Amino acid sequence: FREPCMQLMDKYGMSACECYYDSYAIYKGKKKLEGLPATYANTDDEVTSLEVYCKDPHNGLEITLQYSVFEKLDVITRSVKVKNGGADPIELRRLLSACVELDSKDYDMITLYGTWARERHVQRNPLHFGKQLVDSCRGATSHAHNNFIAIVDHKATEDYGDCYGFALCYSGSFVAGCEVNQYEKTRVFSGINPYDFSWHLDLGEEFQAPEVIMVFSASGIGTMSRTFHDVMRNNLTRGKWKDIRRPILINNWEATYFNFDTDKLLDIARESAKAGIEMLVMDDGWFGHRNDDKSSLGDWFVNEDKIKGGLKHLVDEVNKLGLKFGIWFEPEMISPDSELYKAHPDWCIHVPGREKSIARHQYVLDFSRKDVRDYIFNEMYKVLSVNKVDYLKWDFNRNLSEIGSAALPPERQKEVAHRFVLGTYEVMDRLTKAFPDMLLENCSGGGGRFDPGMLYYSPQIWTSDNTDPLERLSIQFGTSMCYPASTMGAHVSASKRAGYDTKANVALWGTFGYELDPNRFTEEESELIKAQVAEYHKYYDVIHYGELYRLISPFENEFRAAWMFVSQDKDEALVTSVVIKRPEDRGFTLRLKGLDPAKYYVDEDDGEIYSGALLMNAGICLDFNGEWDGDSFKKHFKAVK
């Protein structure tokens, strides 16, 4: 009678299903999920897994419930696999990844909603009788709702209360929510959106649902977030760049948009090198004849009118300046004016004979098809294998509509959206295996595909196209509900509001970089950038490996925001506060969190020494004059040895 997790249709058109327990297995470690991103165990001791095998004797369906327990982290992951072990094909109409029963209805649901340039704002509402959910039917996670939700005590705060967090390791259409029934019990569910989904299971075929990462905290929302941060940093992101220092990049997008050439890029690189910036990223517009967003996606050959002397020349020159080189691709897209579209008009997602909706002047390539994926992978390989590319920004600027594939039979058309996501994962997997030293950063019109699935392939994701430091506060606070600083692309730009000090203070809460033309700096600004680069290196460890404490949330306080990072050994802390709107009460007391009460800490600015207990219980008095919109400060504390 409630929201089901599995729904099928047999050859008689019936949906009845009886799953009986058959057997189980418990083992150390965790198996991979075939073709899907998922958390992993670094050592077998870290995780214990349980598989529960069930069978339906009538139709031969074999169901495996998959659980893994990360004991030290208060994390359980959950997934499910079904196999058609019977004599007739079965249509799988839905297969959600998790279903959790809570014994009351007295909770709030937290979700992250938004739109382009306003991603992942926090929404919190008390549960009511009936169903309440967030979802996407766009073929991608979307800017509108993230696939993370939390169910928390009504009174839960950052530091108090029971919190259950659910993050789906998936990058396509999803549903996440709960149902409160007439007996005041809550069922929480999360998985692939059943809307327009169906999977044809032939005899012997299997379907694997994505994984849900489930976190419990008995001490508030802050602990829940920190647990998500730990599991994502340690057990989800992978590869060389998981643990080594990421380069400070400068991206030419906001500096030039499509209007650039080799000289312009080298001018940017030259100035950047002087400031100590470590990598130049050439964004959209280097290929085909792309001078605006209307053309050439799919034609991944260098436009030598702009990149004069060729790509190798540009990369060599950038390298000579001491910078690494990064490049932009939008692999899953195709422009109607491209050579590729002329050669293969049926290679995009479409319903034959019907109008195709165009968005940002482009169509979506049919990544459910292996021939399409192979072609794109090979084109990318050609560029990446002959040039020394250290970083790739993988963009995705529209959602899927009129979802259909020219390569699949009618009974498999409702598989296209999920096959598309699997196809994207496959290309990302091939790419990261072919170029293990290359840093991959995901992006989707800013942060439209910021999800745990993508973090399995790219350890950082562009958080938002909104680089205004004050609006970024809400975006970064919201994103941090589930995602660690080390995954959040955050750049200093030439945006109007606030000075460069505040822009950097906000961007330090992420994978730091620049998105501007340094040739337009005043001398004073150039000096400031050098100092910021030095600060990035100084604070890297505490931000990337430390624990986040949200002190004042912009969702609760219209005047100020404040947050801090504390190193795992509690020997170092970095506190940042930003004035959003000039407060009436000049000066305020900020109570810190997460320190060791018994340790003594020195304030690096003035050499004053305070106990951790004092900093947390009495707080620091920040009685400084002239608190104007966009002002900010940082404070760095080190334990006295």
Q: Which residues sit at the interface with ligand DGJ, rule CB under 6 A?
A: 253, 283-284, 328, 395, 397, 443, 445-446, 462, 465
User: Pick from 19, 9, 16: which is nearest to 92 by CA?
Assistant: 9
- Kindly report the three-state secondary structure assignment for every residue of 487-526: HEEEEEECCCCCCHHHHHHHHCCCEEEEECCHHHCCHHHH
User: Which tokens belong to 25?
Assistant: 């297995």
Q: In the Cβ-directed half-sphere of 289, how many Cα atoms lie within 13 Å?
A: 5
Q: What is the CA radius of gyration of the chain?
A: 25
Encode 1-40: b = buried (16+ Cβ within 10 Å), e = exposed.
eebbbbbbebeeeeeebebeeeeeeeeeebeebeebbbbb
Q: In whole angstroms, how close is the CB of 297 to ligand DGJ at the nearest point?
A: 10
Q: Determine the Cα–Cα distance for residues 280 and 282; give it in Å rounded to an integer.
A: 6
Q: In whole angstroms, how close is the CB of 116 to ligand DGJ at the nearest point?
A: 9
Choice between 294 and 520, CB closer to ligand DGJ: 294
Q: In whole angstroms, how close is the CB of 401 to ligand DGJ at the nearest point?
A: 19
Question: Of 74, 108, 153, 395, which residue is the catalytic one?
Answer: 395
Residues 58/61/62/63 CA torsion (nearest 10 deg): -110
Encode 167-181: b = buried (16+ Cβ within 10 Å), e = exposed.
bbbbbbbbbbbbbbb
In degrees, to the nearest 5, what angle opens at C-alpha 352 toward C-alphas 348 and 358?
A: 50
3-state secondary structure of 285: coil
Q: In whole angstroms, how close is the CB of 460 to ligand DGJ at the nearest point?
A: 13
Choice between 334 and 580, CB closer to ligand DGJ: 334
Choice between 56 and 395, CB closer to ligand DGJ: 395
Choice between 423 and 446, CB closer to ligand DGJ: 446
User: Which tokens belong to 401?
Assistant: 């509509």
Choice between 395 and 517, CB closer to ligand DGJ: 395
User: Which tokens belong to 284?
Assistant: 């959209």
Q: In whole angstroms, how close is the CB of 443 to ligand DGJ at the nearest point?
A: 5
Q: Is 465 known to be catalytic?
A: yes
Question: Of 108, 284, 390, 465, which residue is the catalytic one?
Answer: 465
Q: Determine the Cα–Cα distance for residues 188 and 78; give it in Å rounded to an integer.
A: 13
Choice between 366 and 465, CB closer to ligand DGJ: 465
**Chain-centroid distance, C-alpha 260:** 29
Helix (H) or strand (E) holding 377: helix 370-386
Q: In whole angstroms, how close is the CB of 328 to ligand DGJ at the nearest point?
A: 6
Choice between 221 and 334, CB closer to ligand DGJ: 334
Encode 255-292: b = buried (16+ Cβ within 10 Å), e = exposed.
bbeeebbbebbbebbbbbbebbbbbbbbbbbbbbebee
Q: In whole angstroms, how close is the CB of 448 to ligand DGJ at the nearest point?
A: 8
Catalytically annotated residues: 395, 465
